[in-house]
Amino acid sequence: MRMLCPRFPAEGERRRRMREPDAFDVLRRKQHLALRFAVREDRSVPSFVQGGIWNYGAPVRGGEATPPGFRSEAAMRATRQIRWYLLHALDG
C-alpha cells in the first residue's frame, strides 16, 4: 500500500494538474528541513516517502521561484532516470 504525506495532493488530483515536464511537488523532511525531495507532478510518490517523516512543501513550475537548493535542470535529469530528485538546501 502506497503512503502519501499529510496535505500532499492525492494521486488523482496530481494527475489532473499541469503535466509540464518541469512541474514538481517538493516535500521537506520534518526533522531536517534542509533535506528536500521532489517528484514530477504527473508521477506517483515513491512508497519510501512517508507522511510521518515528510511534509508537503510547495509546487515548483517552470519560470517560478524555486526553493533554496532546487536546480530545475538537475531535477529534470534525475526524474527521467530515477523518477525523483533529492536535494539538500545549504542556504535555508
Asked whether 49 and 26 are in contact (CB, 8 A), the reply is: no
Report d(CA 67, CA 91) in Å as an integer. Answer: 10
Cα angle 70, 76, 80; round to 5: 140
Q: Where are the domains of the chain?
A: 11-88
Q: What is the pLDDT along the chain (92 residues), one digit of tens a residue?
A: 344 444 555 555 545 454 566 799 999 999 998 899 999 988 888 888 877 899 888 889 887 888 888 998 999 999 999 989 998 887 65
pTM equals 0.70
